[in-house]
Amino acid sequence: MRRRIRSLCLAGLATLSFALAQLTAIPAIAQPTTTATALFSEGLALHSEQTGTAMRAAIAKWEQALPLWEQVGDRQQLALTLYWLSPTYLALGDTEAALASYQRMRQLYRELGDRHSEATALVALGRLHARRGEYQQALDDYDQALPLWNEVESRTGAATTLNNLGRVFAQLGDQDRALSHYRQALALAQAAGNAEGQAATLNNLGQVFATQGDRPRAQSHYQQALDLWTSLEKIGPQASTLNNLGYLAADAGEFRKAETYYQQALPLWQQVGDRQGEASTLSNLGVAAAEQGDLTQAQGYYEQALALRQAVGDRAKEALTRYQLARSLRQQGDRTQALAEISRAVEIAEDLRGNIDDLDLRSRFFATQQDYYEFYIDLLMELQEQDSEAGYDAQALQVSEQARARSLLDLLNEANADIRTGVDAQLLAREQQLRAQLDAAEQRKVKTLSRPHKPAQAEAINQEIDDLLTAYQEVRAEIRATSPRYAALTQPQPLDVGQIQAQVIDGDALLLEYFMGQEHSYLWAVDADSLLSAVLPGRAPIQALVVRLRREIARSRHSRLSVGFRRSATQLSDLLLGPVADQLGERRLIIVSHGALNYIPFAALTRPNPPTTSTEDSLLAIPGEGSDRLYAPLVTGHELLTLPSASTLAVLRRDIANRPPAPRALAVLADPIFSVKDERISRQVPVPSLPPELERSARESGVLFDRIPFTRQEADRILDLVDATQATKAFGSEASRELALDPQLRNYRILHFATHGLLNSSSPELSGLAFSLVDEQGNPKNGFLRLHDIFNLELPAELVVLSACQTGLGELIRGEGTVGLPRGFLYAGAKRVVVSLWNVDDQGTAELMTDFYRQLLAAGQSPTAAMRAAQLQMWSQPEWRSPYYWAAFTVQGEW
């Protein structure tokens, strides 16, 4: 992996000798000063030992010194103590204490009029906010620091801050703004004659150009950086930049050239004793050798890298190297040893998931981890082909379940979802504290052991990690015992085949679970007695068919079912259902999709074995043009239920077991007021702008906040089916976010939300439901119910219906797929959720929903049976026959 040269560190720890020198200037004016001086000095001595125990003791000394400096009014020494305390808190994983300490330090220097030190504190705050994923606050910190650097005429400080700004913009994906800030930083570094600053900035510029695919400019900037590092005799940075040049060449497929760069970097890492850097380059050499067909040499490089990464305790990179080694072993035909390596890689990755505090590192680590799962499944299914009796396909299914569960956690991490409602606050605080301490200790271990060190240092850090891990595991066990719902989400235990058959499959149900891979995709069909697996084509051809089918469905809105639609529906059916056609019969189907398959309405796929003769053929089958094959949608033969994973249903059933039903029947929130232009606004007012997050989510989701006129008609029809004393309704401005969050909604068995859904693929935290954005007087108000709000609701509802646009899509990530809003409502306590897969015609939705509720409430059918009956009713009417009008709606959760 490419090692990056981080931005210049301005706010690093001062040297011990410098700090002690500062102490000589402290006048011995009183006993508190003498005591504070001694405590500060003792803290410095402890800190220099660089062990967790010693640093905690140093913190205790400095914390005792703080009130003494305050007592004597020595704000300069108070600020200096905070200067040491802040990064020490951070090194031990206590980001909250570090944040408070840096903020206090900044305020003190501001009061003292020390602009240089204030700017230093702001830069440190910016780095901390960026590490926590609080990018806007980081940008604000850096923006406040810049004028202070200009005031004290520090070009170096300004260049460092501009570099940090560039890095934040790069992390946010805004490469153009990153480029602009790096260029400004380079100009300042050049004007100041700061060669190190120039080299670091040139390296950063090279990374931006590499990200943009501009290899010539990336190459040029990396080479300029390398020349400067060489002239400065900075060996470690030389090695890092050579690694970047090698990575750039490898990315272009020039593996022999990449190998040359890596071979130059390797002795440089060895010269400075950087074993972490050495391991990175050895791993890259393994990739280059493998790509050139020399698998034996590749294996040798991987094994050397693995030994180093184990020695320094870099477990995340150990998992990566084991994955690379497994790939090489598989290519050499040693599938048994490859299986052992990938199994260990996944085990390590699973263990590390909760212990990566840095959001940027965490997201990159998790994205890589999905490759591990895919390779693991591929390998198990290859072994299944070799030995069909060994049960490798059952293991592969469990890995598929494992990947889905973990991806849900990824999305919740990205969405900053606080999912701790109802869990003991002290236990959670202790869990988070220990997790942060573990992460910090692991980082210190890697830093310590990758350089020359004493045996006692290795022993101390290993013992510290063992103690923290024991305490962490004890706390997590207590959380599992006291908060099973939270534990099921944060500590998931995916089901194996036997557990799926016992806990998920009931009656004649058949589970169809899919996994999409680069080379191959897979299908597992599970019923109460058997498991059948099948190998499908890779991701690309399936995605192409999905795109074609959705395009044909959209075209069918204003026309008869076209040949193109029937051909696409049949091709996908043959591919996805053909291998299990003989097992389908007329059974209830549980569909667990993956990747692009989350975007297709299974209800509209061609039924593999449609009836050839029936009194209802005129309604249920349309002869294909130019073919004697009949088209009948899958829903004509089956009830359909969709799930994000099979394990989800088992957890859901456990959560709702013996739960009494809510006392009242139905709550409807519909037809909100989105704009002051709405005719229901009583007075003319200027058009307000949307809140920034809502505006961004609407833009990226393609939502225009127009009124949805038929939602009122839809709601009135549904309410007519229920005794008025058993229902509540909220239209217009009353259909508000406040009501959606109101605990009173817990009293209703069915919740019906008829409004716009916003689904953001790139930023899942911006997904949600839009309720009234203005009141009846036209005053703006917060109407955005976001994903993290939904996960924190407590809604023990039998059914939540999201009669809105695209509420089922969510984030199409590589694992869990369409998590989004339905998964949030399931976690909040809903037994099942009805969602839509595309923007549905408003009047068509009203027709389908009215019939759905009639079947549900009047006829007493289950939600899946009611949905099937409503879809068949639409299918039977020429006006609504196109799947565009009825196939988008799916039921997730329980039958």
In a domain, 6, yes or no: no
Average pLDDT over residues 675-686: 67
Residue 800 to residues 438, 469, 669, 753, 830, Cα–Cα distance (Å): 40, 40, 11, 8, 6
One domain, residues 458 and 514: no
Report the half-sphere exposure of 832 (CA within 13 A, side-chain side): 17
Residue 504 to residues 169, 233, 248, 315, 497, Cα–Cα distance (Å): 46, 64, 48, 35, 10
One domain, residues 672 and 737: yes
Question: Which tokens belong to 837?
Answer: 């897969």
Residue 156 to residues 9, 153, 216, 542, 561, Cα–Cα distance (Å): 11, 9, 28, 53, 68
One domain, residues 739 and 862: yes
Residue with the larger pLDDT of the pair 195 and 130: 195
Q: Is the pLDDT of residue 304 over 60?
A: yes
Q: Residue 26: which pLDDT band, with cuts at 50, 70 and 90?
A: very low
What is the per-residue pLDDT across 97-116, written as a single tens digit (0 to 9) for each? 999 999 999 999 999 999 99
For residue 83, the one-letter residue type is Y
Q: Is the pLDDT of residue 639 over 70?
A: yes
In a domain, 784, yes or no: yes
In a domain, 546, yes or no: yes
One domain, residues 739 and 666: yes
CA dist 263 and 744 (Å) reads 67
One domain, residues 458 and 519: no
What is the per-residue pLDDT across 233-275, written as a single tens digit (0 to 9) for each? 999 999 999 999 999 999 999 999 999 999 999 999 999 888 8
CATH classification at residue 690: 3.40.50.1460
Instruction: Show the domain range for 822.
Output: 659-893
- From 882, 861, 50, 46, select the one nearest 448 (Cα to Cα): 50
Instruction: State the pLDDT at residue 810.
Output: 40
Task: Please give the angle made by the CA atoms of 222, 265 and 462, to the nearest 5 degrees.
Answer: 115
For residue 389, the one-letter residue type is E
CA dist 669 and 260 (Å) reads 65
Instruction: State the pLDDT at residue 491.
Output: 60
Q: Is the pLDDT of residue 746 over 90?
A: yes
In a domain, 328, yes or no: no
Q: Is the pLDDT of residue 16 over 90?
A: no
In a domain, 609, yes or no: yes
CA dist 121 and 133 (Å) reads 18
Residue 833 pairs in a beta bridge with: 800, 892
Q: Residue 285: which pLDDT band, with cuts at 50, 70 and 90?
A: very high
One domain, residues 501 and 595: yes
Choose one of 482, 505, 531: the last residue of a domain.
482
Instruction: State the pLDDT at residue 85.
Output: 92
The mean pLDDT of the chain is: 83
Residue 727 pairs in a beta bridge with: 666
CA dist 290 and 691 (Å) reads 51
- Please state the φ and ψ torsions of residue 476, each to the nearest 5 degrees: -65, -35
In a domain, 194, yes or no: no
For residue 136, the one-letter residue type is Q
What is the per-residue pLDDT across 554-579, written as a single tens digit (0 to 9) for each? 888 776 777 888 889 999 999 999 99
| Percent of the chain whose predicted confidence (pLDDT) is above 70 | 83
Q: Is the pLDDT of residue 462 over 50?
A: yes
State the angle between helix axes of 215-231 and 235-251 in degrees (0 to 180), rounded to the nearest 10: 160
What is the per-residue pLDDT across 441-455, written as a single tens digit (0 to 9) for each? 777 777 777 677 788
Greatest Cα pair distance, the chain, in angstroms, is 105
Instruction: Judge contact between 395 and 380, C-beta under 8 A.
Output: yes
- Edge-to-edge strand list for the sheet holding 531-536: 531-536, 521-526, 510-515, 589-592, 640-643, 889-893, 832-836, 799-802, 748-754, 664-670, 727-731
| Percent of the chain whose predicted confidence (pLDDT) is above 90 | 52
Instruction: State the pLDDT at residue 793.
Output: 86
What is the per-residue pLDDT across 709-722, written as a single tens digit (0 to 9) for each? 778 888 999 999 99
Give the number of other CB atoms < 10 A from CB of residue 56. Answer: 15
pTM, two decimals, is 0.75
Average pLDDT over residues 721-729: 95
Least confident of 43-52, 364-373, 479-488, 533-542: 479-488
Q: Is the pLDDT of residue 498 over 70?
A: yes
Instruction: State the pLDDT at residue 843.
Output: 82
One domain, residues 467 and 504: no
One domain, residues 844 and 776: yes
- From 5, 441, 75, 397, select the one nearest 234 (Cα to Cα): 5
One domain, residues 625 and 696: no
Q: Is the pLDDT of residue 745 over 50?
A: yes
Question: Which is it for strands 832-836 and 889-893: parallel, antiparallel or unpaired?
Answer: antiparallel
Instruction: State the pLDDT at residue 12.
Output: 38
Residue with the larger pLDDT of the pair 488 and 823: 823
Number of structural domains in the chain: 3
Q: Is the pLDDT of residue 781 over 80?
A: yes
For residue 598, the one-letter residue type is N
Least confident of 603-617, 796-810, 814-828: 814-828
One domain, residues 634 and 665: no
In a domain, 195, yes or no: no
Instruction: State the pLDDT at residue 499.
Output: 94
Beta carbons within 8 Å of 537's beta carbon, 6+ residues apart: 520, 521, 575
- Please state the φ and ψ torsions of residue 630, each to the nearest 5 degrees: -95, 145
For residue 536, the one-letter residue type is L
- From 580, 624, 775, select the one nearest 685 (Cα to Cα): 775
One domain, residues 666 and 712: yes
> 552-559: which pairs have CB atoms within 8 A and are 24 or more residues apart?
553/601, 553/604, 553/838, 553/882, 553/883, 553/884, 553/887, 554/838, 554/884, 556/882, 556/883, 556/884, 557/841, 557/882, 557/884, 557/885, 559/882
One domain, residues 523 and 560: yes
In a domain, 471, yes or no: yes
Q: Is the pLDDT of residue 796 over 80?
A: yes
Choose one of 569, 603, 638: the last residue of a domain.
638
Residue 683 to residues 605, 676, 686, Cα–Cα distance (Å): 50, 9, 10
